[in-house]
Structure formats: structure tokens, C-alpha cells
Amino acid sequence: MSNKLTVDFKVKNSDWIHNFDNEIQVAVIEGNTDDIIERINLFDNVDADSLEFDETNKMFKRPNRMICIQGSIEIVSSWTTEDIQASDIDKIKELWAADKIRSGNFTETATEDAILAKKLSMTYDFGYDYDELAPMSRRWVLATPIKGKATSDNTRIFCMLTEKSNYELKVLDVLPNQTKTLTKTEGKTLSYVFFSQECSVKNNTVVCEQYSVKKLTSESIDIKNLGSIPARLILMER
């Protein structure tokens, strides 16, 4: 079996990547129209022993997290020899159902069309979709080849890697010049916040630079978006 992992997206600046407390690594990658991230074989970029599969072994919980923070993307899972059935497509859609990107500029292949074409596609244009703090639910993916493609220039993706399996992610969007309160989840002992735009906190006395990550030590914090497009705040907790 040949290994093939294609990544056209790039980390453009050194301050787009962070490692915190040997807990998490966060990076922002950028691609232009038709740039791709493609995995052909399941274990091309992950340790096989680290993956958690469902009871059918047809889908797994991805160890990395990827969230669109600017631009637009298309993601296609495709299969030839894998025994993907309509029930598998319906199950993965059910696992994704709560993600608020579905209420935005989002499309997804109908189940019957996916089975006929042997591919499940989704498209998403970044927008103000997480109007309230909500979980990132697209954690599970089909155990098939997958390709993500930028469908506009300057598309940017938040990526998180961690060896701690108990991290949970929540997302909150803030419009330009808007202030919202971000609150830690009860029972979580360690929380970090990623800022996709320049923001201010503590009554505008402290500025958090674009793509910075800060440890959240208070129970809640008021955050104002100083950028020109919606700020996507990503709360990473365990």
C-alpha cells in the first residue's frame, strides 16, 4: 500500500502556529482556489493505534480538529472497495446534525446520491453561523479517502492537534465591533481560546492578536471583535 498525503495549504507566518504547555498544537493554514488537503490511505497521517472506531469500523473519531475560519471549502469522502451503505451515510449525518454550520451557506449530498456516486460531498462558505456558543460536532468521519479543497482564495483553516483525547471544542462567532461573553464549561479544569480576528478583552484594555491562543483562567470573559469579518472564537477544554 502506497502512502499519499497531499497538502497544498501552508502556514504562511511563524505566528500562525502555537504549542501550549505540551497540551495542544494550534496552526492556521491557508489555501487558494483548488488547493487541496487529501488523504488516500487511512493511516497516512495518523497512528493507527490511536484511532477510535465505531462498532461498524466504517467511521472513526478524528484525532485532529479542523474548522474553517475564512473563505470557503468543499470536502469529499469517496470510496471504491469500502462497504459504505446508506445506513452509514445516515449515521454520519446524524452525528453531524448539531453543527451550526448547517444553518449557514452549506450544502451536502443526499444519501441516495452519495451511494450512487460513491462519494459524500459537502460545501461551506464561512459566515456568522455560530451565533451562540455551540459544540463542533464534525468529529466523526468516514473511514475512506477524503479530500478538502479551497473554493475561494485566501481560505483559512484552524487546525488543532493533541495527544489528550478528552479535549472538547466549542465555537462562538462575534460580528465586527460586537462584544460577546465567552463562558467556560462547568467541570472543565483547563481551557484555551483561539481568536481568528484581533479582539479586545477586559473592557478593551487588552488586545488579543489575530490567531493568538490564550489560556482562560476566569469563569467568563467579554470579548470584542476588532476585525473586519466575524471573529470565530474556538474554546478548547478538558
How far apart are alpha carbons 43 and 109 in whole angstroms? 26
pTM of full prediction above 0.85? yes
The pLDDT assigned to 63 comes to 76
The pLDDT assigned to 228 comes to 97
How far apart are alpha carbons 84 and 81 in whole angstroms? 9
How far from each other are the two terminal CA atoms of the chain, in whole angstroms?
36
For residues 153 and 128, the answer to whether their CB atoms sit within 8 Å is: no
For residues 45 and 77, the answer to whether their CB atoms sit within 8 Å is: no
Structural domains in the chain, sorted by start: 5-237 (2.60.120)
Three-class SS string for 92-132? HHHHHCCCHHHHCEEEECCHHHHHHHCEEEEEEECCCCCCC
The pLDDT assigned to 49 comes to 65
The pLDDT assigned to 168 comes to 93
How far apart are alpha carbons 158 and 153 in whole angstroms? 16
Strands (E) located in 109-190: 119-125, 134-135, 140-142, 146-150, 155-161, 168-174, 179-183
Residue segments in the chain with a per-residue pLDDT below the cut of 50: 1-2
The pLDDT assigned to 1 comes to 41
Model confidence over 8-31: pLDDT tens digits?
999 999 999 999 888 899 999 999
3-class state of residue 54 by DSSP: coil
The pLDDT assigned to 2 comes to 46
The pLDDT assigned to 48 comes to 59
The pLDDT assigned to 55 comes to 86
217 CB-contact burial (10 Å; exposed 0-12 / middle 13-18 / buried 19+): exposed
